[in-house]
Structure formats: C-alpha cells, structure tokens
Amino acid sequence: MKFSTEKNRPIADVSAVGLSSLCLVHCLMLPVVVSVYPATIAVTLSDEVFHLFMVLMAIPISVFALFFGCRSHKSYSVGLTGALGIGLLFMSAFLPHELAGETGERLLTVSGALSLSVSHVLNFRLCRSVKCCDTAGSTANQ
C-alpha cells in the first residue's frame, strides 16, 4: 500500500485541530471540573502526563501537515504560525512549573493551541483552494 501525502495531509490537519481543541478543553475546563467535583483532584495527578502526551502527539502530526501543505500552497506564514504554536505548546509542557507558574503554563498552552489550530485551518483552506485552481486549470486545458 502506497503512502500518499495528498490524501493524508488533510486528515492530519483535521486531526491536529481536533487535538488542539481537546487540549484547550482540557486546559480550560479542568479547574472548573475540579472545583465542582473535588474528588477529581486525583485525576489531576496525571495532568502532566496528559499534557506531555498531547504535545508529543501534536508535534509530528502538525509538522507533517504544515510541511506538505506549505510545499503545496507556498504560504510560509502559515508554517511560521504553526511553528509558533508548536513552540508555545512545547514550552508549556517542558518549562519547569515553578518558572511559568500555573497561569503562565495555561496562557502558553491556550496561545499555542489557538495558534496551531488557526495555522491548520488556514493550511487546510489554502490547500483546498490550490487544488481547486489546479483542477480548474487542468479541466480547461482538456
């Protein structure tokens, strides 16, 4: 079975937006859930593991989708926005907690996830518009 970047890149964009959304929901809703259901405090012990897992999942998917997308549509600002998002998420996951604090970590995570989501939505739209232009051009020549 042949691996096709053209077929898998849109799936990677959608997956990355989904992961970023899940990360946002987790980051913003966890304090609310813990305050409403104090017994969930035990779940927060694995919060760092969840955060690391999400970042380590998001990086390869994002790099794949944005690299091949930027090669297709040539809008490198989308790649830079994605790189900024990856960098912020990486910092939020790997900076010592004492350095950034809980609020700083949350700001880094939310900013990174939003930046990464925006870059993937733009990447997806630009790739679709390039494909539409390519398809229209190729059908006109036939």
pLDDT in tens, 88-119: 989 988 888 788 888 888 889 889 988 988 99
- Residue 61 or residue 34, greater confidence: 61
Rounded to whole angstroms, the Cα distance separating 136 from 142 reads: 10
The chain-wide mean pLDDT, for the chain, equals 78
What's residue 78's pLDDT? 93
Instruction: Examine residue 142 and state whether it is found in any structural domain, yes or no.
Output: no
Rounded to whole angstroms, the Cα distance separating 114 from 17 reads: 9
Q: How far is CA 141 from CA 11, 29, 122, 130, 137, in A?
A: 30, 53, 29, 17, 6
- Report the domain count for the chain: 1
Instruction: Examine residue 124 and state whether it is found in any structural domain, yes or no.
Output: yes
Instruction: Examine residue 59 and state whether it is found in any structural domain, yes or no.
Output: yes
Instruction: Examine residue 132 and state whether it is found in any structural domain, yes or no.
Output: yes
What's residue 30's pLDDT? 65
- Residue 142 or residue 10, greater confidence: 10
In eight-state DSSP terms, residue 10 is H
Instruction: Examine residue 41 and state whether it is found in any structural domain, yes or no.
Output: yes
The one-letter code for the residue type at 133 is C
What's residue 34's pLDDT? 60
What's residue 142's pLDDT? 41
82 and 120 Cβ atoms separated by less than 8 Å: yes
85 and 112 Cβ atoms separated by less than 8 Å: yes
pLDDT in tens, 46-69: 567 777 888 888 888 889 889 988
Q: Containing domain of residue 21, as a range?
A: 5-137
Rounded to whole angstroms, the Cα distance separating 104 from 18 reads: 23
Query: Does pLDDT of 122 surpass 80?
Result: yes
In eight-state DSSP terms, residue 45 is G
Query: Does pLDDT of 43 surpass 80?
Result: no
